[in-house]
Amino acid sequence: MGIKKFNPTTPGQRFMELNDFEDLTAGKPEKSLVVAKHRSGGRNNTGKMTMRYIGGGHRKKLRVVDFKREKHGIKGEIKTIEYDPGRTANIALVHYSDGEKRYIVAPTGLKVGQKVNSGAAATPEIGNAMFLKDIPLGTLIHNIEMRPGQGGKIARSAGSYAQLAAREDKYATIKLPSGESRLILVNCLATIGTVSNTEHNKESYGKAGRTRWLGRRPRVRGVAMNPVDHPMGGGEGRASGGHPRSRKGLIAKGYKTRKKNNPTNKYILERRKK
């Protein structure tokens, strides 16, 4: 996909850069794979606002995406590449040979009419889901499981990918998008390729209204509040507000929130780059 710029006939279009959606092949989703999306507007069951800066936004329908890819040995054909309002990546509609239809996260380079497979019989081609024990070293992968049968959890957003770096005994070493190196069981599934819509991070909405369409209300800076509302509030003039911290007083910008005795620490070989 590419990024298109607009002729600045209005102030909102002057800095607007949006997706051109050239890779998409369908306008409407598959009806059987769509469910209603409930939006709370940041309110709890009594109507009290418990999360700020949430509300409004265009109505959305959730696409049911298959992250597990458990239809092993059953070949499927890519019918459409579609937009999904619930994620930054595109999705692909797969028609399997047994008649079932499912959505998968579309990798870069996936084409309509292409065949995809999963399981031990799959080959290391774009869109196929394979066990880590069968994938060649150095391959770029996405939608990686953290536990066998759990479904893909890692590298699912637009343009992201991980790399299979090594294998030893029952663990594979994965280099994650953050720079972290982590051990994952070789019985976990991963999909070959990188996630589509790689230029998503270059988009510029151009105006505040487009952010409101996404259901995000204006966010107020802590230093602009009163002391009763935020630890960084108050002061004469444009006071800096002290060390950056959250509304609850937790230090921001570098404060580690991960537990030192986290039982999964043994699976992390190298922490993420700062």
Q: What is the CATH number of the domain that holds 146?
A: 2.30.30.30
- DSSP assignment, residue 106? P
Q: Is residue 181 part of a domain?
A: yes
Over the stretch 124-153, which tens digit does the pLDDT of each residue have?
999 999 999 999 999 999 999 999 999 999
* Residue 145 neighbours by CB under 8 Å, 6+ apart: 151, 152, 153, 154, 184, 188, 189, 190
Spatial distance between the Cα atoms of 9 and 12, rounded to a whole number of angstroms: 8
Q: Is residue 115 part of a domain?
A: yes
Sequential pLDDT tens for the chain (274 residues): 789 999 999 999 999 999 999 999 988 999 999 999 999 999 999 999 999 999 999 999 999 999 999 999 999 999 999 999 999 999 999 999 999 999 999 999 999 999 999 999 999 999 999 999 999 999 999 999 999 999 999 999 999 999 999 999 999 999 998 999 999 999 999 999 999 999 999 999 999 999 999 999 999 999 999 999 999 999 998 888 788 999 999 998 888 888 999 999 999 999 987 7
Q: Is residue 268 part of a domain?
A: no
CB atoms within 10 A of CB 129: 26
Q: In this predicted structure, what is the pLDDT of residue 273?
A: 79
Q: Is residue 44 part of a domain?
A: no
Domain enclosing residue 95, as ranges: 24-39+58-196
Q: Is residue 208 part of a domain?
A: no
Work out the angle at residue 41's Cα, subtended by the Cα atoms of residues 35 and 45, and round it to the nearest 5 degrees.
Answer: 90
Q: In this predicted structure, what is the pLDDT of residue 115?
A: 96
Place of tokens 């479904």: 151
**β-strands 115-116, 129-131: how paired?**
unpaired
Q: In this predicted structure, what is the pLDDT of residue 268?
A: 96
Spatial distance between the Cα atoms of 69 and 119, rounded to a whole number of angstroms: 8
Count of residues making up the chain: 274
Q: In this predicted structure, what is the pLDDT of residue 272?
A: 87
How many whole angstroms from its chain centre is CA 91? 12
pTM over cut 0.75: yes
Instruction: Show the beta-strand stretches assigned E in the chain.
Output: 3-5, 17-19, 34-36, 61-63, 76-82, 91-96, 101-105, 115-116, 129-131, 140-142, 144-145, 152-154, 162-168, 171-175, 181-185, 189-192, 268-270
Q: Is residue 210 part of a domain?
A: no
Q: In this predicted structure, what is the pLDDT of residue 221?
A: 93
Q: Is residue 265 part of a domain?
A: no
Q: How many domains does the chain have?
A: 1
C-alpha distances in angstroms, 264 versus 110, 177, 187, 203, 258? Answer: 34, 18, 18, 36, 11
Q: Is residue 85 part of a domain?
A: yes
Spatial distance between the Cα atoms of 198 and 122, rounded to a whole number of angstroms: 25
